[in-house]
A and B are shown apart, each in its own frame.
Chain A
Amino acid sequence: MAYLDHAATTPMHPEAVAAMTEALSTTGNASSLHTSGRRARRAVEEARETIADALGARPSEVLFTGGGTESDNLAVKGLYWASGKRRVLASAVEHHAVLDAVEWLEQQGAEVTWLETDSYGRVSAETVEAALDASDDVALVTTMWANNEVGTINPVHDIARVCAERGVPFHTDAVQAVGAVPVDFAASGASALTMTGHKVGGPYGVGVLLLARDVKCTPLLHGGGQERDVRSGTLDVPSIVGLARAVRIAVDEQVSRAAELVALRDELIASVRAVVPDVIVNGDPVDRLPGNAHLTFPGCEGDSLLMLLDARGVECSTGSACTAGVAQPSHVLLAMGVEPALARGSLRFSLGHTSTRADVEKLAEVIGPVVERARTAGLAGMRRNRKVVKQ
């Protein structure tokens, strides 16, 4: 089995499993005042310090959440509500956790400016600047650090700067970036940053919102007042401990891992192109996530490719949203100006910390016949459709 879907989720690091497993058999609510509670609190605070150190934040800026979706929702809605302003600037290629939160705010009366991207899916600081200058009522700007589908990296430092110059909070979803590229919260200039455990070798169901100390954020969850009163809820000590261990390792190994993954990723693209010469690589060819290869196979349906590859032991993603499992063309590719038919014929291969050359070789071995077969199936569908039109 060649697992080429690390951007969906990546295996937990054995050290994170060990740390989490040990914590699972320890009792203690981190909010309790007795000995067990203090022990739990200590584990949480050490984890917080570890994560802060790894990501260039202060410990008090680390808010533990239930994952990337919660962190995104908390940032988008919380910054909006706390600002008293009406307009949200968001890129059109955000993950649905941001996109749908912004759309929901729009239904509730917010004004939204969708920031256009170039054909690589990148938002420029100039675009953000122009949108900021067009309104004096901007509550927040949100653009992802790196795109989860096509892998393009945004100029977040420049975007943060133009936001800071105007005193507008800037949130960035760095779920795909942490561990893959250098991420330093303070140096980035962002006001809020989302990351999640299961993309960096940590557990599912735990994430972080880095929230700068001076940024006001209205909570989504009210209760016991944990996490600076911004995110109430009993702290999930084992997950937090596992997360901290995973973040530490992912960030420490980032530079060497990125070099390995870039080499492996380029080999993947080259080996696919050798058998499928008309394959299209989406996203920025250079300034992209090290493990991401997002490819369009003209004439194919992505879901056919995925099924055929799965049957041959290669796991990847169509990178598209699903409604009851029905594939829709990716909003990211459409925003980049890709034709819907080509968008449907796209696959995301993503490498991670357990990827090997054998995974890439396995893909290279099967991709030729798979594409050929998917093309035949695509043509069969088109023939039938023409016949129907004639009737």
Chain B
Amino acid sequence: MSGGVDSAVAAARAVEAGHDVTGVHLALSAKPGTLRTGARGCCTIEDAHDARRAADLMGIPFYVWDFAERFTEEVVEDFVAEYAAGRTPNPCLRCNERIKFEALLDKAIALGFDAVCTGHYARLAVVDGRPELRRAADPGKDQSYVLASLTDEQLAHAMFPLGDTVKDDVRVEAASRGLSVAKKPDSHDICFIPDGDTQKFLAGRMETKPGLLIDDETGAVLGRHAGVHEFTVGQRKGLGIDGPAPDGRPRYVLSLEPVSGNVRVGSAEKLAVTGISASSPVVHVELDGPVECVAQVRAHGGTAPAVAELVDGVLRVQLREPLKGVAPGQAVAIYREDAAGDVVLASATIDATS
């Protein structure tokens, strides 16, 4: 229970469904009282209080479990290392994989619980003995992308009671249940970067190496920068380029080269990607040869029809329509279209694009 409206309603629904529920708030900040300032992340003192009040109202036990060390090692340090390597990580996905459905789940199971129930927006069912993950009923809130990399074993011990409900109705339900968090704003930022300044956060935690901004077509040096951590693939603003391109078109970050420190920029067309190669796949539905699917390359938006195939442990995705801003380090999730909610087939980490 993060202290937000979603996990509170999820807990209330689990209680109502007759489960024996214990509320757990994860303490994830390595420096309580510093990172915990500001009430929009997932580990402020105010959030812990809100979670406790929601649990009180439901009459369930409530505990704070300290995973700060694990979170720092497996999410924050990984986040920094990925950026240092020129990739764009998704810390929420990593947190689901390593904290909520590993550290927390392992401890919960050892203590005698059967499942971890969260306020994620995704639909989960068991079909032919295997977990089946689908997009949420609320397309704007769907979080199946950040859950798609969970293994079947992890999903077998997961519950997402909000998958069939749109967010507005969750808020109405929270209010009708008397939960004080009904009107609490959604959290958007990365919880361990409460001020939202990712560049500043990274600059203090990794070796920054100045480098060049290079025109991908001509090889011309367009400027200098303080380090690759200041850029993400697809970025257009704040490149620090003095003049426009000769053809007057805007330029985008195409790739980051952490070893040389070079950042390559080019036109929007160059940014468009049709081929994706992704490693460490987690497969939920066996892929027999190439399959027609919809691919998603980031948490919000970024979908295109595609053909995907698993070849020697690498997920190869050929997009039928180009996508922009496809960044190595992000996950690609592939779905089978379905009117009752697209079904997650697999997820893998993007290594290369073409």
A325 near B107: Cβ-Cβ < 8 Å? no
A305 to chain B minimum Cβ distance, whole angstroms, is 10
List 16 other contacts, CB 8 Å, given A373-B110, A381-B106. Answer: A307-B22, A307-B61, A307-B63, A307-B111, A310-B61, A324-B27, A324-B36, A324-B48, A325-B64, A326-B68, A373-B111, A377-B110, A377-B111, A381-B103, A384-B70, A388-B73
Chain B residues whose C-beta falls within 8 Å of the C-beta of A307 in the assembled complex = 22, 61, 63, 111
Main secondary structure on A side of the interface with B:
helix
Cα–Cα distance between A307 and B23 once the two chains are bound (Å): 11
A303 near B32: Cβ-Cβ < 8 Å? no
B45 near A324: Cβ-Cβ < 8 Å? yes
Chain B residues whose C-beta falls within 8 Å of the C-beta of A388 in the assembled complex = 70, 73-74
Query: Which residues of A290-314 have CB atoms within 8 Å of chain B's CB atoms?
Result: 303-304, 307-308, 310-311
B21-64 interface bits toward A, Cβ cutoff 8 Å, 1 = contact, 0 = none? 01001010000110010000000010010001000000001011
Closest 7 CB pairs of A and B: A325-B64, A377-B110, A380-B110, A326-B27, A326-B66, A324-B45, A324-B48
A293 to chain B minimum Cβ distance, whole angstroms, is 23
- Residues in chain B within 8 A of chain A (CB atoms): 22, 25, 27, 32-33, 36, 45, 48, 52, 61, 63-66, 68, 70, 73-74, 102-103, 106-107, 109-112
Given contacts A307-B111, A373-B111, A388-B73, contact A326 B64 (CB under 8 A): yes
A-B contact pairs, 14 of them (CB 8 A): A307-B61, A311-B22, A311-B61, A323-B33, A324-B27, A324-B48, A325-B48, A373-B111, A376-B110, A377-B107, A381-B106, A384-B102, A384-B103, A388-B70
Is the C-beta of A374 less than 8 angstroms from some C-beta in chain B?
A: yes
A247 to chain B minimum Cβ distance, whole angstroms, is 33
Is the C-beta of A335 less than 8 angstroms from some C-beta in chain B?
A: no
A297 to chain B minimum Cβ distance, whole angstroms, is 14
The number of chain A residues with a CB under 8 A from chain B is: 21
Cα–Cα distance between A324 and B106 once the two chains are bound (Å): 23
B38 to chain A minimum Cβ distance, whole angstroms, is 14
Is the C-beta of A327 less than 8 angstroms from some C-beta in chain B?
A: yes
B65: nearest residue on chain A (CB-CB)?
A303
Cα–Cα distance between A379 and B45 once the two chains are bound (Å): 29
Cα–Cα distance between A326 and B63 once the two chains are bound (Å): 9
Cα–Cα distance between A310 and B23 once the two chains are bound (Å): 14
A378: nearest residue on chain B (CB-CB)?
B110
Cα–Cα distance between A308 and B112 once the two chains are bound (Å): 9
A308 near B45: Cβ-Cβ < 8 Å? no
Chain A residues whose C-beta falls within 8 Å of the C-beta of B106 in the assembled complex = 380-381, 384
Chain A residues whose C-beta falls within 8 Å of the C-beta of B109 in the assembled complex = 380
A307: nearest residue on chain B (CB-CB)?
B63
B33 near A308: Cβ-Cβ < 8 Å? no
A330 to chain B minimum Cβ distance, whole angstroms, is 15
Chain A residues whose C-beta falls within 8 Å of the C-beta of B52 in the assembled complex = 325
Given contacts A324-B36, A325-B25, A384-B102, contact A308 B111 (CB under 8 A): yes
B241 to chain A minimum Cβ distance, whole angstroms, is 39
Q: Which of A310, A311, A323, A380 contacts B107 (CB under 8 A)?
A: A380
Chain A residues whose C-beta falls within 8 Å of the C-beta of B63 in the assembled complex = 303, 307, 325
B74: nearest residue on chain A (CB-CB)?
A388
Chain A residues whose C-beta falls within 8 Å of the C-beta of B102 in the assembled complex = 384
B49: nearest residue on chain A (CB-CB)?
A324
